[in-house]
Amino acid sequence: MDTLTVDQAAALLHIHPRRVRGLARAGKLPAVRVGRRWLFHRDRLEAMLGTATETRTLGLEVLSARNHLRGRIRSLALDGLMAEVTLDVSGQPLVAIITRRSAERLALRVGDEVLAVIKSTEIMVAKS
């Protein structure tokens, strides 16, 4: 079983280590106190995130963006230098504008299962 320190858990959760300690103290994060140190089970934290298993299967475990939505490509329109990728995410359409070169490099096709990786105002598309 893989255990994490406070700093490692903070990096996984993308929050400050002080906040991780506070959540562990309050019982809101699954943790074990050993002496003065907190230890966290990686699989329990990843289960709380709900996306770690999905992203790990696509090799995105070190990606800084936290928000990943799994979906299927509903339509793909290539025009000039850009590509419009419309995803079906749990019945909801999500449109991403990416470069044509990225779409071709990923070999995107209608029906492919992909991840919409959302960071700030950008949505990226990932494929295994």
Q: Containing H/E element for 24?
A: helix 17-25
* Mean of all residue pLDDT scores within the chain: 84
Q: What is the pLDDT of residues 16-25, one digit of tens each?
A: 999 999 999 9
**Edge-to-edge strand list for the sheet holding 3-4:** 3-4, 37-41, 31-34
Q: Mean pLDDT, to the nearest integer, of 103-125?
A: 85
- Helices marked H in 62-125 — which ranges? 100-105
Q: Kindly report the number of other CB atoms within 10 A of residue 64's CB atom.
A: 7
pLDDT: which is higher, 82 or 12: 82
To which residue do tokens 């959302």 refer? 118
Residue 17 backbone phi and psi in degrees, to 5 = -55, -35
Say what the alpha-carbon torsion angle 115, 55, 9, 66 is, to the nearest 10 degrees.
Answer: -10
pLDDT of res. 85: 96
| Local structure of 85: helix, strand or coil | strand
| Local structure of 34: helix, strand or coil | strand
pLDDT of res. 99: 94
pLDDT: which is higher, 119 or 8: 8
Q: What is the pLDDT of residues 31-78, one digit of tens each?
A: 999 998 999 988 888 877 765 445 455 555 556 556 778 889 999 999
Q: Containing H/E element for 7?
A: helix 6-13
pLDDT of res. 124: 75
Cβ atoms of 67 and 118 closer than 8 Å:
yes
| pTM metric for this prediction | 0.49
Write out the two tokens for 42. 């990686």
Percent of the chain with pLDDT over 90: 50
